[in-house]
Every structure is written in C-alpha cells, then in structure tokens.
Amino acid sequence: MSLMNKAIVATLPLVPKPLVRHFANRYIAGDKLEDAVRVANALNKRGICATIDVLGEEVDDRGEALAAVEDYKSVLAAIDAEKLDSNISLKPTMFGLKIDKGFCRENIGAICAEAKRYDNFVRIDMEDSSCTQDTLDLYYSLREEYGNVGTVIQSYLRRSLADCVGLAAAKANLRLCKGIYVEPREIAFKDKAVINANFGLLLDVLLGGGCYVGIATHDEKMVWEGSRAVHKFGLKRDQYEFQMLLGVDAKLRDVIVAQGHKLRVYVPFGTAWYPYSTRRLKENPHLAGQTFRNIFAKYEFE
C-alpha cells in the first residue's frame, strides 16, 4: 500500500460522511428495495444473477433484528413477484448474533423457512473472526433444518483449510473469498501471496470434494485460479459460479460472462451503508484516492 493510500485509510474516520457516501454510491443499489430490484433486473437482463443484501450489521437491539427479518421477507417477496434471478445474502450480526445466538438462529431460521417457500436460497455472509465459529455453527444447524442455505469461507483465515475439510465432507454450498476485515496475524495470513495460494488450495479442496462454490473475487489471479480448478475437476456450468460485488470492475465481469461462466453480483441496498462502504474504501484505497481527488478537483472549479 502506498504512503498516500495508507494516509487515506488512516484518516478514514475523519472523512466527512457525504464524501464517503459519494464514494459509496457506485457500490450500493440505493436506499430502497425498489433500487435493488431495478439493479438486479438490469443485471439479469445481461445474463447475470444477483444476490440481494439488506445493509446492516452489529445490531444490538432485538427490535431492530426483528425488523430486519421483515425486511428480508419483503426482499424474498419482491424477488418472487418480479421473477428475478436472485437469492439473498445476510449478515448474522444484523439478526442479533452478538445479543443471543438462539435468538439470532430463530430470526435467520424464519428467513430460511420463507425462502424455502419461494424455492429460494439464503447465503449467510461471513463477518470478522469473532463470528467465524458461530456462523459455521449457524450454517450447519440451519442447513440441517432447511437445506436451502450456504455460507462463506475466507482464504485469509489460518483456520480455513481445516474448516474446508469438514465443509467438503458435508458437500456444503459455499462462497469462497479472500476476506476483508482487519484481523490479527495469529488469526489471519498477512502475506498476499499466502492468501492467494490458500485461495487456490481451498478451491481445490471444496470443488474436489463436490461442493458448489461461489468463487468470489475481483482479482484476475483468483479468477484464473477459478478457471484452473473448474478445468481440473471438469465441472459443468451449473456446478459452480463466480461472484463479484456491485460497482467493481465491470470489465472483468463481462470477461467472466463472455467465457460462459455463471456470474452472480452482490447487490446491497439500504440506509446503513457506512460500514460496508468504509470496508470497500479500505479494500481499494487507490480508487478512494481517485474519488477524493476528483471530488476536490470538482470543488476547485466550482
């Protein structure tokens, strides 16, 4: 990371929220469900699937968690009504994981039940390492009851190889990504080369074990690892998918689609856009720098 980029990340808490929002606009469908529906529809028309996410995390109020259940039920209803090719992604801490695990399981369980009614699918997102074990526990338990559930593995975690051995044996439906949260060295690899090599290894363990994997990356090298693994195991188009976030590298998105792979784009919407956006900023400080320079350049000439 360059000095300039480090400075941007370090001063992130000082960046005025309207500037963060300006930066975030490209990554978020909008404030409302109708924004997510519009974006998912547009993606579908170009042959791309979606996964809709209601922004929100680290909820410490039971009422808020229950409201989130209703929000997701509305999303599922809208996907069905609009005949979208989309599933949903959700974060356990939005449903009270940090308040009470049983309460959280009930809430996500209610969404899984609703999704099952619509023959849809629920991806349980993976958050920081304080949630890893609880999220995997949630996944195993909800999958046993509802079936239509998947979760996420992060290649930067030292534990992931061991987790994948278990998940492969269970033929889990997984998203594999590198991971974006700030973690201590004891828990996560810090060397990019190791994180990348581990991504390739985990892909082999999961795909080789018969898991359906969402290969979630914007890194050309990991997209290549995906193609390599798909070739290695002779997979058909319906045995895996690539995944990307809304607003990131549309050119790479087109390349993946043009090569005949299934691609799913993560479509977040809602008003709780701040934590999601700052993670995107940290992930891509170079782009953040450009955005800020553009904004300041604009101000200069106004």
Q: Which residues bind its own copies (CB under 8 A)?
A: 158, 161, 165, 185-186, 189-191, 193-194, 197-198, 201, 205, 220-221, 224, 227-228, 231, 251, 254-255, 258-259
Contacts of 62 (CB under 8 A, 6+ apart): 96, 99, 103
Identify which of residues 226 and 268 has a Cβ nearer to its own copies in the complex: 226
CB of 66 to its own copies, least distance (A): 38
Rounded CA-CA distance 10/13 in Å is 8
CB of 193 to its own copies, least distance (A): 6
CB of 209 to its own copies, least distance (A): 12
Where do we find the tokens 């990991």? 222
CA dihedral over 115, 139, 141, 53, signed as positive or negative: negative
Identify which of residues 160 and 291 has a Cβ nearer to its own copies in the complex: 160
Beta bridge mates, 176: 153, 215
Identify which of residues 186 and 238 has a Cβ nearer to its own copies in the complex: 186
Contacts of 288 (CB under 8 A, 6+ apart): 5, 8, 9, 23, 281
CB of 247 to its own copies, least distance (A): 18
Identify which of residues 99 and 209 has a Cβ nearer to its own copies in the complex: 209
CB of 273 to its own copies, least distance (A): 30
Catalytic residue among 53, 71, 125, 163: 125
Rounded CA-CA distance 230/203 in Å is 9
Identify which of residues 6 and 190 has a Cβ nearer to its own copies in the complex: 190
Position 126, amino acid:
M
Rounded CA-CA distance 104/92 in Å is 7
Active site residue 125: yes
Active site residue 175: yes
Catalytic residue among 105, 123, 143, 175: 175
Burial 198-212 (b: 16+ CB within 10 A, else e): bbbbbbbbbbebebb
Which residue numbers are catalytic?
125, 175
